[in-house]
Structure 1
Amino acid sequence: MIESKEQLEETAARITRLKGEIAKVIVGQETVVEQLLWCLLAGGHALLEGIPGLGKTMLVRTVADTVALQFSRIQFTPDLMPSDITGTNLMEFGAQGAASQRFQHGPIFGNLVLADEINRATPKTQSALLEAMQEGTVTAGGETYALSKPFFVLATQNPIEQEGTYPLPEAQLDRFLLKIGVDYPTREELKEIVRRTTSVEQPRAVIAMTGEELIGIQRMAKEILISDDMLDLAVKLVMMTHPGEGDATEEVKRYARFGAGPRAVQALVSIAKVRALSSGRLHVSWNDLRSAAPPVLRHRIVLTYEAQAMGLTTDTLTESMITAIEASR
């Protein structure tokens, strides 16, 4: 429970220290790291999209190291089966020949699960994550097993390769709190990456937060206040993603087929609260909502074929909605 401003400032300082430890290993990518931490502190799952070699796997592993979480990696391939993720029942025979069943836990039973190249597995296998992501449980052989907390799924996918991939359905995409774009490093960042990775001394991050402390910060984030005015703006922003909405911008009406659902408002407010907490504030501001909007809406707006052919992105539509709201305030 938030009891004082000093407690808020100390929590913000702890989050800053966590970012600092991650920065010892990960060069640049400040926005990616910040958004990934927003996701963890809000208790949600994230989808990281970027070409191979940009450090997505290293980032996830580093976060697990700095928060003292049990890390588990699943390499998604076309022949991966659901039981390879959730686990399976094994038959065991005792000394007298008596048979019994034992459930062998799969890699989903971790705190921080990396679903690497998730779109390379079939929809049947992808769906094995749905119950774990939504309910925090795994059902196998008629039994339901609870996953340990905290629990996060951080999935990666390559936006370029389309052959041999299975795009995630909209229902599964909606389970991810954020979709985070991982871009190329700058020239200076690339030079620093080479220096770090080709020297004898390899940088290492140390534990900056325990799993219990992370859960405590998640609870604190829920206590951050949001006024009715800010909540109205969050709802308006999500409603503007619908092409049939009266407040929708011309870009949305022309280039959006479907807009975001109720989970988008929940995600927008949750991330805005975490951002406010990270800044040591007790109230959500418009800047919090504005910053949270792109990663929240990026995978929740379905573009028309015309927009895809023109190379437009959902970020373009989101920026048009933000501009329209700011012009009307």
Structure 2
Amino acid sequence: MSNLSVPDSSQAILEKLVFQMEKVIVGKRDIIEKLLVALLAGGHVLLEDVPGVGKTMLVRALARTIDCSFKRIQCTPDLLPSDLTGASIYNQRTSEFEFRPGPLLASVVLVDELNRTSPRTQSALLEAMEEKRITADGTAYPLPEPFFLLATQNPIDFEGTFPLPEAQLDRFLLKLTIGYPEPSQEVEMLGRMEDAQPLAHIRPVLLQEEIIRLQKEVRSVHVDDTMKQYIVQLASATRQHPDLALGASPRASIALMRAAQAEAYRSGRGYVIPDDIKNLAVSVLAHRLLLHGSAQLAGRSAETIVAGLLGTTAVPVRRNAAG
């Protein structure tokens, strides 16, 4: 068992972050906590939902709680890769080209309506998300630490959009859906929105160096061999499922383990338990799966398939030498 114990100070900081975000985002603590899991795990998040449920507000609220640079990219069909990465501009005073960094070179980046930009521009994000660097004019530039990308897309309006390829989806640690609030929560939200600037009430509670420290501690959370076997069994089950044309990749297994470590750390534990995996399996695995056409016509979804596998896949039991 790991000797790591989550410091009380770290737990207090994480609770403060959730408290600050709930000043604006009402009744969505589960989503806020999953965003926090992705941040701690060093992953990225895809928010897919209908317009008006607070996707952009959620990201802006998170950015306000973190004392890091923040940039927003509004995707359009004419957006170019250089609009994201930056480009070299000729300086007449020095008679030299100078690199002007694009919005991707920020710590927290919101990519709004990602599926409205072309595949060529979408592909500019792959290197940034996977390798934490960008290449512009043949030169590689490292991204700041931490680097946290959150993208949004609308699943209803397909006109003028470009579906995200599997390689792009696989780079997102979590895919989340916010959903509509309960009526009582919506009434509370209206009360808070009487203030023209609700985000002004949020203050930073997490420094850049603190995020880096927390992310390093998350990597030290112990994952027992039985938990690793459980993750692999879930991934293997998706590869053999008759409704799926594409199952979870080894990258998906790694992503689920990293997310489970972050969930355990957020919960104040230095070790992963089955519930950490179960709580995040749908959010980590579902968007990486590809259904057969017949399964889609039958109304099945990747989310329900993963949920079903969680119910049928037994957690391995660690046996001692005598057993």
**Is the Cα–Cα contact under 8 Å of residues 65 and 205 in structure 2 kept in the other structure?**
yes
Residue in structure 1 matched with residue 80 of structure 2 by the alignment: 81
Q: CA deviation at 1:9?
A: 3.6
Deviations along 1:149-204, one digit per CA (max 9) or x if unpaired, are 11011000001011111011001110111111121111111111111112468361
**Is the Cα–Cα contact under 8 Å of residues 8 and 277 in structure 1 kept in the other structure?**
no
Deviations along 1:92-131, one digit per CA (max 9) or x if unpaired, are 223xxx6311111111111101000000001001111111
Among candidates 290, 293, 312, match of residue 302 of structure 1: 290
User: 1:172-251 counterparts in 2 under 5 A?
Assistant: 172-199=168-195, 202=198, 204-243=201-240
Residue in structure 1 matched with residue 107 of structure 2 by the alignment: 111
Where 2:206 maps in the other structure, the secondary structure is coil
Residue in structure 1 matched with residue 321 of structure 2 by the alignment: none
Residue in structure 2 matched with residue 282 of structure 1 by the alignment: 270
Where 1:168 maps in the other structure, the secondary structure is coil
Cα distance, 1:208–1:327 mapped onto 2, change above 3 Å: closer
2:9 matched to 1:21? no
Q: CA deviation at 1:4?
A: 6.3
Among candidates 140, 144, 168, match of residue 136 of structure 2: 140
Gaps of 5+ in 1: 244-251
Where 2:43 maps in the other structure, the secondary structure is coil
Deviations along 1:211-259, one digit per CA (max 9) or x if unpaired, are 111111111111110111111001111111112xxxxxxxx31x21110
Q: CA deviation at 1:12?
A: 2.5
Q: CA deviation at 1:14?
A: 2.1
Taking the aligned partners of 1:47 and 1:21, their CA distance within structure 2 comes to 22
**Is the Cα–Cα contact under 8 Å of residues 4 and 221 in structure 2 kept in the other structure?**
no
Taking the aligned partners of 2:122 and 2:139, their CA distance within structure 1 comes to 20
Gaps of 5+ in 2: 318-323
Residue in structure 1 matched with residue 320 of structure 2 by the alignment: none
Q: Which moved more, 1:36-45 or 1:201-210?
A: 201-210
Residue in structure 2 matched with residue 163 of structure 1 by the alignment: 159
Where 2:287 maps in the other structure, the secondary structure is coil
Cα distance, 1:289–1:125 mapped onto 2, change above 3 Å: same
Q: CA deviation at 1:327?
A: 8.6
Residue in structure 2 matched with residue 246 of structure 1 by the alignment: none
Cα distance, 1:91–1:192 mapped onto 2, change above 3 Å: same
Q: CA deviation at 1:142?
A: 1.6
Residue in structure 2 matched with residue 70 of structure 1 by the alignment: 69
Amino acid at match of 1:228: D
Q: CA deviation at 1:72?
A: 0.3
CA RMSD in angstroms, aligned pairs only: 1.8
Taking the aligned partners of 1:11 and 1:102, their CA distance within structure 2 comes to 41
Taking the aligned partners of 2:101 and 2:211, their CA distance within structure 1 comes to 24
Amino acid at match of 1:36: L
Where 1:240 maps in the other structure, the secondary structure is helix
Where 1:109 maps in the other structure, the secondary structure is coil
Taking the aligned partners of 1:156 and 1:108, their CA distance within structure 2 comes to 15
Q: Which moved more, 1:215-224 or 1:13-22?
A: 13-22
2:50 matched to 1:51? yes
Identity value in percent: 42
Where 1:283 maps in the other structure, the secondary structure is coil
Residue in structure 2 matched with residue 151 of structure 1 by the alignment: 147
Taking the aligned partners of 2:129 and 2:197, their CA distance within structure 1 comes to 38
**Is the Cα–Cα contact under 8 Å of residues 221 and 273 in structure 1 kept in the other structure?**
yes
Taking the aligned partners of 2:314 and 2:12, their CA distance within structure 1 comes to 31
Taking the aligned partners of 1:201 and 1:67, their CA distance within structure 2 comes to 18
2:311 matched to 1:323? yes
Amino acid at match of 1:72: K
Residue in structure 1 matched with residue 38 of structure 2 by the alignment: 39
Aligned residues: 315
- The two structures have a TM-score, normalised by structure 2, of 0.93
**Is the Cα–Cα contact under 8 Å of residues 11 and 277 in structure 1 kept in the other structure?**
no
Taking the aligned partners of 1:162 and 1:199, their CA distance within structure 2 comes to 34
**Is the Cα–Cα contact under 8 Å of residues 8 and 281 in structure 1 kept in the other structure?**
no
Where 1:241 maps in the other structure, the secondary structure is helix
Amino acid at match of 1:264: A
Amino acid at match of 1:15: L
Taking the aligned partners of 1:68 and 1:54, their CA distance within structure 2 comes to 25
Q: Which moved more, 1:169-178 or 1:28-37?
A: 28-37
Q: CA deviation at 1:207?
A: 1.4
